[in-house]
Amino acid sequence: MQTRNLTPVTGVEISGIDVRQVSDADFAAIEKFWLDRCLIVIKDQHLSPSELCDFSRRFGELEKPPASAGRRRDEEAPEMWVISNVIENGQPIGALGSGEAEWHTDMSYIPEPPSASVLYGREVVTNGGNTWYANMYAAAEALPADLRAAIEARQANHDSSYTSAGELRKGMSDVVDVKDAPGARHPIIRNHPVTGRDTIYLGRRTNSWIVGMEVPESDSLLDALWAHCTRDEFCYSHRWSPNDLLVWDNRSAIHRRDSFSADERRVMWRCQVRDGSFTAAAA
């Protein structure tokens, strides 16, 4: 196994392994990179849907696909879904289209959001479509004292109405007042359940609200937090090669996607892992 850091703080590239045949000792090393660096990029994997699920399951029990998930499912791998802009017989085969996707944490709008997100590049585009990651440990460490004081012990509401591509989810209606947005509340400064380190946990900007604050005050604080958290030094931008397998820690990284041409095909397979620390905490 060869590794190299992708930026000073965010992401490790791993090559020279086949994830279908990883020993427990090697997996422990991979898991540590994932926890420490927020993102692992495993090069050149050749996986079937069920093999992707098998590897994803080594991080924990798999989550059911969210309501916005793509239509195409694999019968042998029901936990896997498709992110794609491809239209077949008038129907999209996957979620999110070809537009930009705003910075977000996957499924932070549920009470127990997933730990690992797994994304496997089957068909990638030649222009655009980069996925960006920002390290929220580094952002928490560098947070100015006045901003930290303003959000210490505060929670944010994470709206569940819209996808990161700005589409209203099935069965949802438009949010008129962010104080009434459906979703889940989480501490903004969140202690990572495995590493014990502080992270900044923002979810997504659209319809976010700092619980208990007037909306203008909440909006200006959230704008300041987002500007801080997406500074260049916390970020890595991934240009996809076919067969790249990315796994990020959804508790310590936020991510976004650049738009790309609707004329190019992009097909990604996707799994999400339940955060076992919630079960452990309840037991």
Task: Enumerate binding residues for Fe ion (CB under 5 A).
Answer: 106
Q: CB of 106: closest distance to Fe ion in angstroms?
A: 5
Q: CB of 271: closest distance to Fe ion in angstroms?
A: 12
Nearest residue to 234 via CA among 259, 200, 269, 184: 200
Residue pair 178/215 in contact by the 8 Å Cβ criterion? yes
Identify which of residues 72 and 255 has a Cβ nearer to Fe ion in the complex.
255
Residue pair 61/32 in contact by the 8 Å Cβ criterion? no
CA angle in degrees (0–180, nearest 5) for 140-192-271: 110
Q: CB of 253: closest distance to Fe ion in angstroms?
A: 10
What is the Cα–Cα distance from 226 to 129, expressed in whole angstroms? 21
What is the Cα–Cα distance from 147 to 151, expressed in whole angstroms? 7
Nearest residue to 69 via CA among 92, 53, 87: 92
Q: In what order do the strands lie in the sheet with 183-187?
A: 183-187, 155-159, 209-210
Tokens matching residue 236: 């890595």
Q: CB of 176: closest distance to Fe ion in angstroms?
A: 25
Identify which of residues 221 and 273 has a Cβ nearer to Fe ion in the complex.
273
Identify which of residues 14 and 107 has a Cβ nearer to Fe ion in the complex.
107
Q: CB of 157: closest distance to Fe ion in angstroms?
A: 19
Q: CB of 25: closest distance to Fe ion in angstroms?
A: 30
Identify which of residues 157 and 163 has a Cβ nearer to Fe ion in the complex.
163
Identify which of residues 107 and 151 has a Cβ nearer to Fe ion in the complex.
107
Residue pair 84/93 in contact by the 8 Å Cβ criterion? yes
Identify which of residues 106 and 275 has a Cβ nearer to Fe ion in the complex.
106
- What is the biggest distance separating any 2 CA atoms in the chain, rounded to whole angstroms? 55
The residue number with the shortest CB distance to Fe ion is: 106
